[in-house]
Structure 1
Amino acid sequence: MRKIILAAALILTISTLQANAHTPVCETGIITLNNNAPIPQACVDSYNAMYPGATTLKWARKGEGVYQVTFIYNGQKMTARYSASGVYLGK
């Protein structure tokens, strides 16, 4: 019984760490790209309003002033693109 409880606790710990590892946030709480360039707050706000509770996997810059977020929402992996001013540009 102890081994089962230990295994369950280990799996829960690993899955929690993995979920937290996907959200790229620097020490200031600002979401950043891999090169630590900040994502415009307007993009983040629009994304959070459109997909409340989504699990963010990564943000990427897709051209001049275009940012794409990859995330899981309602169990489905999705993407969305936003302009630097926060306007939704599609999937």
Structure 2
Amino acid sequence: MEEDQSATYSVDDALLSSGFGRYQILILSYAGVGLIAEAMEMMLLSFVGPSVQLEWKLTSHQESMITSIVFVGMLIGAYTWGVVSDNYGRRQERISLYRHRD
């Protein structure tokens, strides 16, 4: 009985062998830009909320509901597109998102 001679790697071994080059820096940069955009959106809600409350004569509860709805939408969207990505692939998911934008 022969044993399988193929090498097995742990996650650490695979990461060490792949290195950290231009491609990883590019991916890290894109992820950082996305994170910055999400943080700015959340911060914008806290600045715009009181102005919207005064302009539309909303109660504090109504203004809080608007902010909450934004986060519920983010939650539903993240879950939905995560399932689509897992089933059909990230490339197809991104193409679909960009096609249905605006």
> TM over 0.5: same fold?
no
TM class, shorter-chain normalised?
A: 0.3 to 0.5
Larger Rg: 2
Q: TM-score with structure 2 length normalisation? A: 0.36
Higher relative contact order (CA 8 A, sep 6+): 1
More helix as a share of residues: 2
